[in-house]
Amino acid sequence: MSVSNAADRGAIVTFFADGLGAVDPPVAAGQPGALSEPFNRTVATPRVFFDIYQADVIYSGLPAGAPGPYQVTVRVPALLSPATNISVSLTIGGFGSNRVTIPVR
């Protein structure tokens, strides 16, 4: 994402992450995710925040046909004020990610 290609409030965006834990149904390490349902969703659902607003998590798990990294798809909170540097963080199983920033319009 860039300032000229910012995420819209209410839009669906996808992030990729490591270390999100077990998936169901389980797969052996290094094996690709399922190509159709049942997809390999994370056992725990992450919490994703844009600034102080929690996003709706649409999907968290292995990408279809790929061994990783994990895919996390969320809806950008509509209550955000547009800015070029919205802080985004993820928490799962009591562990927090590094914060990144993305532009939102």
Which H, E and C letters describe 13-50, residue by residue? Answer: EEEEECCCCCEECCCCCCCCECCCCCCCEECCCCEEEE
Report angle CA 15, 91, 40 to the nearest 5 degrees: 55
Q: Given a cut of 80, is residue 62 above it in pLDDT?
A: yes
Q: 64 and 70 in contact (C-beta within 8 Å)? A: no
Q: 86 and 51 in contact (C-beta within 8 Å)? A: yes
Q: 33 and 65 in contact (C-beta within 8 Å)? A: yes
User: What domains lie within the chain, and their CATH numbers?
Assistant: 3-104 (2.60.40)
- Convert the pLDDT of each residue in 3-52 to its tens digit: 678 999 999 999 999 999 999 999 998 899 999 999 999 999 999 999 99
- Given this model, what pLDDT does residue 25 score? 97
Tokens encoding 44: 């725990």
CA–CA dist 30, 74 (Å, integer):
25
The model scores a pTM over 0.85: yes
